[in-house]
Amino acid sequence: MNTYIQIKDNGIYVEFNTPLDAESFETGTTLADYEAGKWVLLSPEQVAFHEAHPNATVKEVFEMQLDPGTEQPEPDELTIARKQKLQEIEEQDKYSEKFFVSVVRYQRDENGNIKVDENGDELTYELVNYTLWMDRSLRTTMLNTTLPAFQKRGDTTRKFWTVDEPSLEVSIPIQWAIDRIPKLEIYATETYDLFKANNNAAYAATSVEEIAQIDVKANYPH
């Protein structure tokens, strides 16, 4: 996970699965870059410091040192509840990057032909569900570059890898993937809208009770 901070977003910390593309985002490496409105990637040590000191200023996080004159107040119940709810919202949103592939295996005769029953229906003997991960960057690359390139070469299938450890290889028809990745993009966009709406509700809440009423799973598309 790559954690960035950007002053135009009120100094919030944002996590991305992959580093930001410098051609699409104005990125930097220094505190001055941050103050100039650029996206700045934090080191793992800076991220750990921020997690250990959530009330630290951006400058303190960059330098990984608290100002001796700065008192760090204990977070109140509302602040704690808001932080927990924001974490729930983020965890729920991660599901939008996953997609599932069901693979049906057919029964075949000695000649390799698919067997059928008396009604002419094809016989299957196993249904396997695979879970794969595809964030926006990978979806865009697959749809616009990778899959068309392999298809132009004459390939009909392409390897995908599951989220398991160790990963499992899944051979997926290229045209099938091209037809369905746009649907995944629509789903991810709709879930992102909900993610932002829930985030806004959490920040706008003025009581622990309001925070508790935010259902992070409500209205998610299926």
Q: Are residues 147 and 212 in the same domain?
A: yes
Residues 205-214 pLDDT 10s: 999 999 999 9
**What mean pLDDT value characterizes the chain?**
85
Domain end: 54, 73, 92, which one?
73
Quick one: pLDDT at residue 213? 96
| Residue among 141, 131, 143 at smallest CA distance from 178 | 143
Q: Are residues 4 and 97 in the same domain?
A: no
Residues 128-160 pLDDT 10s: 777 888 888 888 999 999 999 999 999 999 998
Quick one: pLDDT at residue 108? 82
CA 109 to chain centre: 43
Quick one: pLDDT at residue 141? 92
Residues 81-131 pLDDT 10s: 999 999 999 888 887 777 777 776 778 888 888 888 888 888 876 667 778
Q: Are residues 69 and 80 in the same domain?
A: no
Quick one: pLDDT at residue 200? 95
Query: Which DSSP helix (H) or strand (E) runs through 70?
Result: none
Q: Are residues 51 and 86 in the same domain?
A: no
Q: Are residues 86 and 38 in the same domain?
A: no
Question: What integer is the mean pLDDT of 14-43?
Answer: 85
Residue 117 lies inside a defined structural domain of this protein: no
Cα–Cα distances (Å) from 24 to 35, 137, 193, in that order, read 19, 12, 21
Quick one: pLDDT at residue 154? 96
Q: Are residues 194 and 93 in the same domain?
A: yes
CB atoms within 10 A of CB 7: 16
Residues 177-220 pLDDT 10s: 999 899 888 888 888 899 999 999 999 999 999 999 999 988 87
Q: Are residues 157 and 51 in the same domain?
A: no
Peptide bond between residue 166 and the one before it cis (omega within 30 degrees of 0): yes
- C-alpha span between 47 and 213 (Å, rounded): 30
Spatial contact of 8 and 37, defined as CB atoms under 8 Å apart: yes
- Total domains in the chain come to 2
Quick one: pLDDT at residue 187? 87
Looking at the DSSP bridge assignments, the partners of residue 114 are 108
Domain hosting residue 175, numbered range = 75-101+130-222
Q: Read off the pTM.
A: 0.52
